[in-house]
Amino acid sequence: MPNEGSYEVALRRSDAIQADLPQHPESYTMLTGDRPTGRLHMGHYFGTLVERVRLQGLGVRTNVIIADYQVITDRDSTDHIRDNVYNMVIDYLACGIDPSKTMIFTHSSVPEANQLMLPFLSLVTEAEMERNPTVKAEQAASGHALTGLLLTYPVHQACDILFCKGNIVPVGRDQLPHIEITSKIARRFNERYGKVFPDVAGLLTSTPLLPGLDGRKMSKSYGNAISLCMSAEETARLIKKSKTDSERNITFDPEGRPGVSALLTTAGICTGRDPKEIADEIGMGGSGQLKRYVTEAVNDYFAPIRERRHEIEGNLDYVRDVLSDGNARARAIAQDTLGEVREAMGMSY
Ligand code: TRP
């Protein structure tokens, strides 16, 4: 977690950019992405997909990377990766990411972006890599020895952002150290070799993290996440078996009643209502009534998205075309940037 001071600075900068975005969308290039380790869920949707679609609609240049090389930062296999990548494209399209406006591509298809890793690694120190809190946390969770790739993946992420000259990156607070290392790399490169890269800022989202159905962090491995690809019946089943508590009267109390409150928050975000108001309305109706309400709220909200998802799923050729078109566009941009980098470094022969 970055210290309060740097968080405050980042937040002020992010607010200033948010205010400027509608006025000067053409000055901004967004880059963000996801690891293709499974299906996207409601946390991804409300936490970042909605924001991507908003930026796309404002006319910002929007780029979304499917970070396939990042999958092997903390795991030993690439099982199901192709299936995960195609499903990720399907989720994006179903949620309103428009491939004629947003470039969707994968790490492994853009060799020139990966090549930026070489000069970039020379701009950071081992100590800087080692004190990154996200890297430390991921290493601890993986139960593995720290690999070279896990240690340096924030530098690889800087390649993702900088090859397309991204200057805004929508992030949660825990990802701020990554943005800091990216802007350091850009600054150091520009100082040493001449200006090639932009200033990079994190666009902090104001929406609080959506908890999983049981009140813990939403994660597929906890079984508390509603994936976008789930059917209405699967959603109903998952909500039905989520843990509440023995008190009948429904109240909103995230500290004391994490399960009940997570359900209220989930219903609130889907209906646009205040969770407290929903709690008051259900009151002595108990958790059975609450679960029915949440199920309907989630299924109503996601019905059109799921319907679109289903249609797109039936047209895999289209999905493959979207990706290969995005990959080709990304590659052309990366070739240009790598050309500029080699030129700045005196390495064009
Ligand atoms: N680290 C992100 C995740 O785990 C994915 C990602 C890869 C990314 N490269 C990025 C995010 C660049 C923002 C910017 O989901």
DSSP for 87-99?
A: HHHHHHHHTT--T
In a domain, 215, yes or no: no
Are residues 169 and 297 both part of a single domain? no
Are residues 124 and 80 both part of a single domain? yes
Nearest Cα neighbor of 164 from 60, 68, 85 is 60
For ligand 1, atom 5, the nearest C-alpha belongs to: 34
Are residues 294 and 307 both part of a single domain? yes
Tell me the CA end-to-end span of the chain in Å, nearest whole number.
44
Which pair of structure tokens corresponds to residue 16?
């200033």
Give the C-alpha separation, 115 to 306, whole Å: 38
Are residues 305 and 335 both part of a single domain? no
The number of domains in the chain is 2
Q: Could you tell me the pTM of the whole model?
A: 0.95
Å from CA of 32 to ligand 1 middle: 6
Q: Between the CA atoms of 43, 44, 48 and 50, what dihedral angle is there, to the nearest 10 degrees?
A: -90
In a domain, 287, yes or no: yes
In a domain, 212, yes or no: no
Are residues 292 and 162 both part of a single domain? no
Å from CA of 349 to ligand 1 middle: 34
> pLDDT of the chain along its 349 residues, tens only?
446 678 899 999 999 999 999 999 999 999 999 999 999 999 999 999 999 999 999 999 999 999 999 999 988 999 999 999 999 999 999 999 999 999 999 999 999 999 999 999 999 999 999 999 989 998 998 888 899 999 999 999 999 999 999 999 998 878 889 999 999 999 999 999 999 999 999 999 877 789 999 999 998 889 999 999 999 999 999 999 999 999 999 999 999 999 999 999 999 999 999 999 999 999 999 999 999 999 999 999 999 999 999 999 999 999 999 999 999 999 999 999 999 999 999 999 9
In a domain, 259, yes or no: yes
Kindly list the protein residues whose Cβ atom lies closer than 6 A to any atom of ligand 1: 31-35, 65, 67, 70, 157, 160-161, 169
User: What is the pLDDT at residue 7?
Assistant: 87
In a domain, 238, yes or no: yes
In a domain, 2, yes or no: no
Residues with Cβ within 8 Å of 39's Cβ and at least 6 positions away in sequence, in order, are 84, 87, 91, 220, 227, 228, 229
**Residue 104, H or E segment:** strand 102-106
Q: Which domain holds residue 17?
A: 7-207+316-344
Residue 314 CB burial class (10 angstroms; 0-12, 13-18, ≥19):
exposed
Pocket test for ligand 1, best of 55, 65, 71, 142 (most atoms within 8 A of CB): 65
Are residues 192 and 103 both part of a single domain? yes
Are residues 182 and 224 both part of a single domain? no
Positive or negative CA dihedral for 228, 172, 122, 151?
negative
Pocket test for ligand 1, best of 49, 51, 63, 70 (most atoms within 8 A of CB): 70
- Do residues 114 and 152 make contact, with C-beta atoms less than 8 angstroms apart? no
Which pair of structure tokens corresponds to residue 100?
């004629």
For ligand 1, atom 15, the nearest C-alpha belongs to: 34
C-alpha neighbours within 13 Å on the C-beta side of residue 148: 2
User: What is the pLDDT at residue 3?
Assistant: 62
